[in-house]
Structure 1
Amino acid sequence: MSTPSPVNRETHELPSSGGKSYPPIEMWRFGEPGARPKAYIQAGLHADELPGMLVLRRLREALEEKAARGEILGEIVLVPVCNPIGLSQTKGGYLVGRVDEATDRNFNRGYPDLCALVQEKVSGKLGDDADENVRIIRKAMRKKVAAIEPADAYETMQKALFLESCDSDIVLDVHADNEAQLHLYTGTVNWPDAKDLAAELDARAVLLSDESGGEPFDESNGHAWVKLGAAFPDKPILQACLSATVELRSNNSVSAEDARRDASALLRFLTRRGLVAGEEGAVPRLLCDAHPLRAMQQLRSPAEGLIVYKARLGDTVRTGDVLAEIVPPLGGEPSEVLAETDGVLFARHDQRWAWEGKVIGKVAGREVLEARKGKLLTD
């Protein structure tokens, strides 16, 4: 009989803030600490984006069965509920989990620039062995992140999550959009390496960006290696972290069937990547192409009023198509919202009221849009 693989549940306490106390962050660690490859997967960073929490519970249960049979080959860290602060924020009967109510900071922005943190520390230590350079850089990353002194509960949470992810081979930050098909954000350098992840999850859009702006969690982990390669062009530096934001459809679309399917897809991905023993099967056919994030049109309302969509999620649209009308309820002519690119409408807004400038949908296009510059994500 096989020796069971180690499984450890760890807790990270958060300090009280503004008179409020929070539950600890709970992490499950599968496999021997320090084993490679290492995968870090979290859900609920935007705490009102709910389906990922159930998916990671199901994945945890599957990994516990694998561990009991001694089938964990690498190290896997799961954080099914990574943001207890956001889960504590309610207003009008709803979770308000996207931003910290005390400071108005987006929970998925402002993570440390790992390259800037370690560049001076690793300078003069890197050589001609690419694998050794990765080891040196990862050690420096953990040391520098561990030395960060957080000022409050928000920064304590950021540090706890980032310390565990910063030296990982794979980092997946599981989110959900407002009303959407499943899609991924990942670095340009990670494509087509991430193709198996997108195919297993049945993604309907993949958006690629070197720097989307704002230092979101997954990008801060993965893009550091691109920056380090540019900082030390005479040294071999691998892209040692495949990071991605996985958007599991719609915020409130929580179902047992989807959770089982998504957890199984992630387990097959981890198996294929050598973290879990077993048969992963053939990679499914990917039903979309990957395109630059700068080719994604954010549909912005030109006026205030009711949103009446003229296109459904998943519809292929052409430049000039009317995708929605903004209808003033007290009278007057509706305003049209037009497609500015050919592509697929993969996200809409579930609250059918708009104001001028509000993002009410997203089209995954193919050609870069010149107007898409600066911060590319929705705040």
Structure 2
Amino acid sequence: MDITEIVVEGDTPGISWRLPVFHFKGSAPGTPKIYIQAALHANELPGTALLHFLCQKLQQADAGGTILGDITVVPQANPIGAGQWLFGGMEGRFDLGTRTNFNRDFPLISIRDRDSLVEGLDRYRAPDRLKRQLIHMALGADLVLDLHCDDEALQYAYIDEAFWPEASDLAAALDMDAVLLSDGESSAFEEAVSFAWKYAVPGEKRTHFSDKLSVTVELRGQRDVYPDMARSDAEGLWRFLAARGIVLDDTAQLSEFTGPAAPLDNIEMIRAPQSGIVLFHRTIGERVAAGDLLATIITRPGMADGSIDIHAPQAGLIVTRISDRLVHRRGDLMKIASDKPSAAGRKPGTLED
């Protein structure tokens, strides 16, 4: 194992951030290379806990000579966000300087232009320099995993349709409850990686890959940071590495993924029609039928007409739910994975900002 460090100089005097990067050298040329990062949204920590335990297993494997493919691990990918606290709370998701999502606005380039990402870095602000160096590292691999989590959620992933169904082995290894099939039409990290591969020949779009993978893994909710859970997830990711031939472990076995794989058009985004106090009647992991009562929002406490009931627009599986109980108008409440496209429709790209 080799540990290097990326130093991101701040935009004001006297400030810099240090980013440790763990490298495990594979012994078998031609084996897939994998890049794994966590906490790009700095307040999403289940992935960091997972990688802590995975690195322990990889160190043992490295000593035993059973790492076949190159593995790069970045346990905390966003030291800038990790240092941005406001009134005792870490923001983590948005840069306080620009309000830009740390997982948006990654450069959309062809893989042939990879080296241009790290040329002339002084022209960019610190968060953009960090983004360019992260995606430059990722584009040196064949498989890219970006570990996130939701608010309250099942174990699920966003996987570009270009990598499906081959990526079902990852869903099985991590015992995912659902897969959301994305369209690759955003500037989020995993979609910027897949964009570079799709447009390896500029102007020509490749639509399917069996030898590549770029995915956002949602490791349940923000509070799901427990030792047994992190170890279990690390074992799951280890099984995936073994299944792809990156580590040697003949005992690692995968079952089949049996959960739903729903296109983003089939996701019902349940939003609050008005601000108020939300009372949930259903929770994550439950299947609902069309018309089922999902939540009540108390909009004017004490008034006879001071509440609103929210019902399921169609049947499906509740994949996520917010943890806040005071919501604003049009605030997201739930995601429901359904069998049919939502009547609400959506623009190409991500479900949320």
Which of 306, 329, 350 does residue 376 from structure 1 map onto?
350
Distance 1:331 1:148, change over 3 A: farther
- The question of 1:366 aligning with 2:330 is answered no
For the pair 1:10 / 2:17, whether they are aligned, the reply is: no
Partner residue in 2 for 1:108 = 103
Partner of 1:210: 183
Q: CA deviation at 1:156?
A: 1.4
Q: Give the whole-Å Cα distance in 1 for the aligned partners of 2:251 and 2:201.
A: 33
Once the two structures are aligned, what percentage of the paired residues are identical?
33
Q: State the 1:230 CA deviation.
A: 8.4
Q: Is the 8 A contact 1:40 1:171 kept in 2?
A: yes
Cα RMSD for the two superposed structures: 2.2
Aligned to 2:131: 158
Comparing 321-330 with 277-286, which one deviates more in the overlay? 277-286
SS at match of 2:80: helix
- Residue 102 of structure 1 aligns to a residue whose secondary structure is coil
1:27 aligns with 2:21: yes
Query: Does residue 248 of structure 1 match 2:219?
Result: yes
1:314 alignment partner in structure 2 = 285
Does 1:220 pair with 2:220? no
1:272-351 aligned at under 5 Å gives the runs 272-328=243-299, 330-332=301-303, 333-351=306-324
The code of the aligned residue for 1:15 comes to E
Q: 2:84 aligns with which of 73, 89, 114?
A: 89
Q: 1:23 is paired with a residue of what secondary structure?
A: strand
Q: Sort the Cα spacing of 1:40 and 1:67 in 2 relative to 1 into closer, same or farther, 3 A.
A: same
Give the Cα separation in 2 of the matches to 1:173 and 1:38. Answer: 15
Indicate if the aligned counterparts of 1:294 and 1:376 stay in contact, CA closer than 8 A: no
Letter in 2 for 1:195: S
Q: Distance in 1 between matches of 2:56 and 2:37?
A: 15
Cα shift at 1:320: 1.7
Count of residue pairs brought into register by the alignment: 348
Give, in angstroms, the shift of residue 253 of structure 1: 1.6
Distance 1:224 1:368 in 2: 29
Query: Is the CA contact 2:163–2:209 (under 8 Å) kept in the aligned structure 1?
Result: no
Cα distance in 1 for partners of 2:326, 2:108 equals 37
Listed one character per residue, the Cα deviations across residues 139-196 of structure 1 (whole Å, up to 9, x for unaligned) are: x243232325351210111111111001311000000001111110010011111101
Equivalent-residue separation in structure 2 for 1:18 and 1:245 (angstroms) = 32
Opposite residue 92 of structure 1, the aligned amino acid is F
8 Å CA contact 2:300, 2:307 repeated in 1: no
Judged with a 3 Å threshold, the aligned counterparts in structure 2 of structure 1 residues 325 and 280 are, in CA distance, closer, same or farther, namely: farther
- For the 8 Å contact 2:179–2:261, the answer to whether it is kept is yes
Alpha-carbon shift at residue 28 of structure 1 (Å) = 0.3
Structure 2 unmatched runs, 5+: none
Please say if residues 141 and 166 of structure 1, whose CA atoms lie closer than 8 Å, have aligned partners that are also in contact.
Answer: no
